[in-house]
């Protein structure tokens, strides 16, 4: 089986003049090397494709793959993560992880929370600030938490993200609107424990492979799993597997969120407990980082005793199973349609006689 690998290499964008923060979600060479090595150790033939521009060139030259392992984040817009799977759909080439619809939805944290709330899953009250004028009408009790609506890796999150006054809210929101050129999500600050849950599989077959608690050291920016806390995690953050009652509740909330949003194959769901100890949905990462050393999902797997190549195997196995199931369903549908046409013809012939 030939597997292509799509990704955004951080060095490529740095060479074009983009900043460290702008490229924070993109991959380092060692991530691609580790992923390719894991796939090859599992018996797959691999080809590096690269970013969406490289994919377009390869497709136009007639290149095809049995499956694409897609971790390309894209650069701009709410659909940036959806571009590669949408393009592959047009060429009938299957890929790992969620489809274009889910990746567009989940990149926008506000739209995601609307769906989560409609599903009856606990999530903090929120408002989406599109313009400075929206700040005055945001009716949320303080303290609140503010962050860009469509960023990852803690971008735009710092100690200033926890806000206690209307004046601070206006100042922080104006700065975020100007810096990131996108809406700001403002939600009720949750004071409790923070968890990230690793999930593999799709739909009813999805399962949580571990609940990891994120705990900040005294040297960390307080109360927030921020961009700098993530960058300096070895000094500022402690991780541990949790299996107490609150962690088990978090596992169930995460799985309900994953299935309700239609996420596929593998990723993470982040939760935080409210003032009464109830885990709330914060956000989902359906294209979780896969650096074998620094990314949260592989860190969780290490704590759970799951080797990196086994994590990759679970992701590819999930993709292959759902693709096989889709092909089987399509074949059955065509067969039933053909049988229906044959039966209708027989009835018509009988009537004619």
User: Do 2-96 and 194-310 have matching folds?
Assistant: no
Q: CA-CA distances (angstroms) from residue 143 to 140, 149, 157, 186?
A: 8, 18, 15, 10
156-192 pLDDT per residue, tens: 998 999 999 999 999 999 999 999 999 999 999 999 9
Q: CA-CA distances (angstroms) from residue 160 to 25, 81, 83, 221?
A: 21, 28, 33, 9
89 or 21: whose pLDDT is higher? 89
* Contacts with 295 (C-beta within 8 Å, 6 or more apart), sequence order: 31, 288, 289
Fold exhibited by the domain 2-96:
Rossmann fold (3.40.50)
What is d(CA 115, CA 104) in angstroms, rounded to the nearest whole number? 13
Say what the pLDDT of residue 204 is: 95
The verdict on domain 194-310 having CATH code 3.90.1580.10 is: no
118-154 pLDDT per residue, tens: 999 999 999 999 998 999 888 889 999 999 999 988 8
44-82 pLDDT per residue, tens: 999 999 999 999 999 999 999 999 999 999 998 999 999
What is d(CA 254, CA 271) in angstroms, rounded to the nearest whole number? 8
Structural domain spans, the chain:
2-96, 125-188, 194-310
Annotate 43-67 with DSSP letters as a single string: T-EEEEEESHHHHHHHHHTT---SE
Q: How far apart are the first and last CA of the chain?
A: 53
- The pLDDT-based confidence of 331 (bands split at 50, 70, 90) is very low
* Contacts with 302 (C-beta within 8 Å, 6 or more apart), sequence order: none
What is d(CA 275, CA 191) in angstroms, rounded to the nearest whole number? 6
User: If you average pLDDT over every residue of the chain, what do you get?
Assistant: 93
Q: What is the CATH number of domain 125-188?
A: 3.30.1490.20
């Amino acid at each position: 089986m030939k597997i292509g690998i799509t990704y955004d290499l951080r060095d490529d964008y740095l060479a074009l003049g983009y900043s460290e923060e702008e490229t924070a979600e993109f991959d380092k060479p060692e991530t691609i090397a580790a992923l390719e090595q894991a796939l090859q150790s599992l018996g797959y033939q691999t080809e590096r494709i690269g970013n969406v521009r490289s994919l377009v060139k390869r497709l136009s030259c007639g290149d095809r793959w049995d499956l694409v392992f897609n971790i390309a984040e894209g650069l701009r817009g709410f659909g940036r993560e959806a571009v590669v799977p949408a393009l592959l759909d047009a060429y009938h080439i299957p890929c790992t992880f969620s489809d274009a619809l889910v990746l567009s939805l989940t990149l926008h944290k506000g739209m995601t929370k609307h769906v989560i709330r409609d599903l009856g899953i606990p999530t903090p009250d929120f408002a989406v600030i599109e313009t400075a004028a929206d700040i005055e009408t945001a009716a949320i009790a303080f303290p609140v938490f503010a962050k860009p609506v469509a960023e990852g890796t803690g971008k735009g999150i710092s100690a200033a993200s926890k806000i206690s006054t209307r004046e601070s809210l206006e100042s922080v929101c104006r700065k975020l609107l100007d810096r990131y050129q996108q809406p700001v999500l403002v939600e009720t600050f949750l004071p409790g424990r923070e968890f990230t849950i690793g999930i593999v599989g799709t739909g009813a077959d999805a399962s949580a492979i571990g609940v990891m608690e994120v705990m900040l050291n005294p040297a960390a920016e307080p109360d927030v799993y921020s961009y700098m806390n993530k960058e300096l995690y070895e000094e500022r953050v402690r991780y541990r597997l949790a299996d107490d009652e609150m962690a088990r509740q978090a596992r169930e909330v995460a799985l309900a969120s994953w299935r309700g949003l239609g996420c596929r194959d593998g990723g993470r769901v982040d939760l935080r407990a409210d003032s009464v100890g109830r885990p709330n949905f914060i956000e989902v990462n359906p294209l979780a980082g896969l650096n074998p050393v620094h990314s949260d999902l592989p860190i969780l797997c290490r704590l759970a005793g799951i080797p990196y190549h086994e994590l990759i195997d679970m992701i590819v196995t999930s993709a292959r199973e759902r693709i096989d199931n889709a092909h089987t369903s399509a074949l059955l549908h065509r067969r039933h349609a053909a049988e229906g046409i044959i039966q209708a013809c027989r009835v018509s012939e009988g009537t004619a006689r």
